[in-house]
Amino acid sequence: MKKAMLVALALALALTPVLAQAGKTLKVALILSGPANDQGWNAVALQGLKDAEAKYGIESAYSENVGNADSEAAFMDYASQGYDLVIGHGFQYGDPAVRVGKKFPKQKFMAIEASSKAANVASYVIACEQAGYLMGILSASMSKTGTIGMVGGIEQPSIIKVVEAYKLGAKAYNPAIKVLTAYIGTFTDVSLGKEAALAMADKGADVLSHIANQAGTGVIKAAEERGLLSTGDSFDQSFIAPKAVICSTVYNVPTLVTIAVDKVRAGKFDGGVFNMGMKEGVVDIASYHDFEGAIPAKAKDMIAALKKKITAGTFTVPLITKSTSK
């Protein structure tokens, strides 16, 4: 009898976190660096929040255009309102999440693409460099001038790693390719993205790529206006300029959001840094759409083979988080 009681007690204790969530509606908040309708990075995160809302019936909220200076206040505001999980969508939100997490130890915090961690703070890192490498190969294969360009947003590790991987991929396809790069210091200023891309076009770049969130739409528009080619970022951006966008990187951010929400619901949320890429189904590239027949067979075969190797773990795209020569 005593043994049975001990087993029952142990089971009850194990289920306590789950039961604690069962009695109330889970509250989840999302902090975005730009507008939620940016047709890229922030839009996919909001989709993840909406997916979690539909799947789990959570109460959700989000804040747009939260700059670095306001990020800690945004975390603090949601934590003070009793949100169970607060997600910052970007590298820059990692440290603020840790600072606020110390003040609210019973609540959970997550930053996507960050490198910060604590007992109640997790960073979910996307291997964006994997797709960036493939975009470099594709861009080099489609260039007729031998010069391509990549526009980055804020010069931080999460952006640098994609720019550097893009350069490596381009060189892997064509060692003689010239890759122009620029960091514009913003994720939201479309005009600056366009200006940087046009400057590259003036220097002979005929394929223009970006890793700049909303500002990157300016890069795509610059390519469209000049009759050049471009690549998209975060999800399939071909709809922005069908005659210009060859392909796009695709980051399954909704999966990351639902994973975090599910862990909080189950009482299994762990602090730490967690890496996810093609193997986990979080990183991919979109279809080539109308460019399927225009892309050299060599490039398509190379990309297809590398996708398999990256997924299988037999090829690792170098992770470079400090800028090399421009």
Closest CA to 162 of 271, 40, 260, 280: 40
Report the DSSP pairing between strands 245-251 and 283-285.
Answer: antiparallel
Domains of the chain by range and CATH?
2-126+253-276 (3.40.50.2300), 128-251+296-312 (3.40.50.2300)
**pLDDT per residue over 260-279, tens digit each?**
999 999 999 999 999 999 99
Average pLDDT over all residues of the chain = 92
The stretch 208-213 carries a mean pLDDT of: 96
Asked if pLDDT for residue 210 goes beyond 60, the answer is: yes
62-87 burial, b at 16+ Cβ within 10 Å, e below that, comes to bbbebeeeebbebbbbbbeeebbbbb
Report the DSSP pairing between strands 178-183 and 121-126.
Answer: unpaired
CA angle 152–295–298, rounded 5-degree value: 100
**pLDDT per residue over 150-183, tens digit each?**
999 999 999 999 999 999 999 999 999 999 999 9
Calculate Rg over the CA atoms of the chain.
21
**pLDDT per residue over 13-59, tens digit each?**
444 444 344 568 999 999 999 999 888 889 999 999 999 999 999 99
* pLDDT number for residue 40: 84
**Structure token pair of residue 318:** 């170098």
The stretch 203-207 carries a mean pLDDT of: 98
Closest CA to 69 of 86, 90, 89, 92: 92
325 band by pLDDT with thresholds 50, 70 and 90:
low
